[in-house]
Amino acid sequence: MPIEVLIQVLIGGVLLGGLYALVAFGLSLIYGVVRILNFAHGTLLAVGGVAASLAYAAWQWHPVWLILALIPIFVVFGWLFYRGLLQPLEKRNHFESTVGTVLVTVGALLMLSDLTAKLAGPTQKNIPLRFESFEIGEIIISMSQVWILAGIALLTIAMHFFLRRTWFGNAIRAVTQDSVGAQICGVHSSRMKAATFAFGSAIVAVAAVLYTLSFPVDPYMGFGLTVKAFTIIILGGIGNLLGALLAGLFLGVAEGMTGLFWKPEWAPAISVILLLLILVAFPNGFRIGKRQ
């Protein structure tokens, strides 16, 4: 096999893995603070990607403007979704609360997927924005790939400093470690949980536009993305941005290599296989780096 083909697949895998990591960032924060497995998390990317592609087709908005338009919508949705449907379940006992959150988030996944398919159609969509490419030998690299990877890196660094240096970030980490202690120190735990849910949803808005610039989206792809995000946070660690980024890159490259050396149709299943292997081989957890 020519080395150029291998490098080309590696570049695509790194790009895909970086986008997976962005999705996992939000899910990791939400679970770390709210302790809810949000099965509708990946569906938000699918819905956001479809919305971004329709907005681009109608008005030719630049991706930056699409991101800025989606973020407040996703923030409001995340806040209301938690306040209206998930927070009331905290008054139930542990079993009822756990089962209830699963039913609510899975129900939201189904409803959002069907509603998006009804309004926009079930076909795949993307943002057909063309960037210049440059060649290194027989390797072709699109400037869109360069800009997206640079954006993912900058966003990761920005979120790291945001979570480490701001009051909001310190409050998130305080609620994660001890919600009762944080409440005693003046942090309103229920508001912080709602704000974290909204913040995690906003990260998905960014990921949705970046994903749709490189890959097609459809209303029913969300659950697969959620499974990949679960795999990433189990491998990288809850609340660990660097670990999630490395785990996402590993998963993206693994999918690319699976499609190259085996069969492309097995590439989406690699996340489930990795998830099972991690749970069996490391029942007490496996972490990369330090938690934020």
Instruction: Name the band, by pLDDT with cuts 50, 70 and 90, for residue 259.
Output: confident
> In angstroms, rounded to a whole number, what is the distance separating the alpha carbons of residues 249 and 21?
7
- pLDDT, position 252: 92
Q: Note the pTM of the prediction, 2 decimals.
A: 0.90
- pLDDT, position 182: 77
Residue 125 lies in a domain: no
Residues 22, 224 contacting (CB under 8 angstroms)? no
**239 Rama class: left (phi>0) / alpha (psi -120 to 50) / beta:** left
> In angstroms, rounded to a whole number, what is the distance separating the alpha carbons of residues 21 and 228?
9
- pLDDT, position 56: 95
Percent of the chain with pLDDT over 90: 52
Residue 8's domain spans which residues?
A: 3-119+140-281
- pLDDT, position 291: 53
Instruction: Name the band, by pLDDT with cuts 50, 70 and 90, for residue 109.
Output: very high
Number of H helices, E strands in the chain: 11, 2
Tens of pLDDT along 123-153? 999 999 877 888 877 788 888 889 999 989 8
- pLDDT, position 103: 96
165 pLDDT higher than 70: yes
> In angstroms, rounded to a whole number, what is the distance separating the alpha carbons of residues 67 and 210?
9
Tens of pLDDT along 66-94? 999 999 999 999 999 999 999 999 889 98
Residue 236 lies in a domain: yes
Structural domain count, the chain: 1
Given CA atoms 207, 197, 154, 18 in this order, what sign does their dihedral have? Answer: negative
Tens of pLDDT along 27-52? 998 998 888 889 999 999 999 999 99
Residue 292 lies in a domain: no
CATH number at residue 262: 1.10.3470
Residue 132 lies in a domain: no
Let me know if 239 is exposed, middle or buried by CB neighbors in 10 A (0-12, 13-18, 19+). buried
Residue 291 lies in a domain: no
Residue 69 lies in a domain: yes
Residue 79 lies in a domain: yes
Residues 125, 53 contacting (CB under 8 angstroms)? yes
Alpha helices in 82-221, H assignment, sequence order = 94-120, 143-165, 167-177, 179-184, 189-214
Residue 108 lies in a domain: yes
